[in-house]
Structure 1
């Protein structure tokens, strides 16, 4: 039986592609290869510049960054001090402050803060308040009698590097309010209370007695260098 040419040779109307042209990449593939080669060169160049510290590190593209936009320090006032800081004391207080509303459940409106405050109080003698007859000198006996005002104490200065919030409880409405509005001074009451408690504790401590002793020793040493053998220091009543 005769065979039809159309059946025996189905692709005879399509031209034959040589093998060397069949394996040769087309124009789009060559473009991709070129772009990949250029990209590899750029990456290698970046690593080379980073190795010699020309480019910054790219290990974490989402690394945290701190931007300081603080304004320059403004000098508001200046004054001369005429006091001798004779002693200071460091105190620590635990403040447990709760703010709530009457007749409202705590799970709705409640703010309780547990705060550890550390502060320093200075005890000083103010020499600017000396009266005209406060100093009596006897050159023959090489003696000095000095009457000083009583020691004073400064307001406690909180050390924020050593003060911290241990825990804070908030009601549901407090949490919602904090989410939609920021109150920058909400911890101010806690700081003030810690400062007041430390100041009161310093008043009841022996800081004044220590200040008197240190002031007397300082003056005795000072006048001894000037040739005086007897130095009597008296503190006025508060």
Structure 2
């Protein structure tokens, strides 16, 4: 049947409404794998952590040295073996000793030159020991008289002697050292070892001289007498007489 002219045809200006599609689900991103470089860094970090942990464990067991201060100072002993230079037999009895301390104040300067230019002053505290002994090797032929019937012994001994003072370097030290300007410059280019020897020698001489009037000789005589009396009494002698010759 022919279409009626009054019926309008669908306009071509508006396209047909498309069917409403159902919403699509979001796409799942593909799995991301770490690159070769990242895996290499992870492996290196794991190995480093393992090495550090091993070092701390060995350090706790005192197997490895301490690495707390990598720049700590070390002392290397390259000393040569000790050589025996001489040996001698001693025939003396050390009956007493005394420990002394002296303050040595030595100053060297030049006349008509200010001290701030040429001057050297050392304040040194020296500690030393002096021994007092009786030398039995110097006994005369008639120094010992023994009476077996009466059980008596008579000894005539030489007077006690004193040794040279021996400085104790662990207790001796320099308190102060003043040097002039020119003296300091000169010391920077040369080493004056004689200076130390002069200070040590002065301390030894002063201590040795002071020991002579300290009463060590009397103490040595008493100790020697008591030692000999005890010795001969144990051997069965009833009377022991010990005398000392005058120096």
- 2:20 matched residue in structure 1: none
Larger radius of gyration: 2
**Alpha carbons of structure 1 residues 138 and 41: separation in structure 2 relative to 1, 3 Å:** closer
Which of residues 57, 61, 69 in structure 1 aligns to 2:66? 57
Alignment partners' CA distance in 1, 2:143 and 2:191: 55
- 1:71 matched residue in structure 2: 80
Shift of 1:188: 1.3
Q: How does 1:85-234 map to 2 (within 5 A)?
A: 85-234=94-243
Alignment partners' CA distance in 2, 1:177 and 1:33: 63
Alignment partners' CA distance in 2, 1:52 and 1:84: 53
Alignment partners' CA distance in 1, 2:30 and 2:107: 86
Deviations 1:113-158 (A, max 9, x none): 1111111111111111111111122223222221111111100011
Shift of 1:25: 6.9
Three-state SS of the structure 1 residue aligned to 2:94 is strand
State the TM-score, normalizing by the size of structure 2: 0.80
Alignment partners' CA distance in 2, 1:53 and 1:84: 50
- 1:82 matched residue in structure 2: 91
**Alpha carbons of structure 1 residues 24 and 109: separation in structure 2 relative to 1, 3 Å:** farther
Which of residues 209, 232, 244 in structure 2 aligns to 1:235? 244
Structure 2: stretches of 5+ with no match in the other structure: 1-28
Deviations 1:29-59 (A, max 9, x none): 6655554444333333322332332221111
Alignment partners' CA distance in 2, 1:30 and 1:114: 70
Alignment partners' CA distance in 1, 2:54 and 2:233: 75
RMSD: 2.2
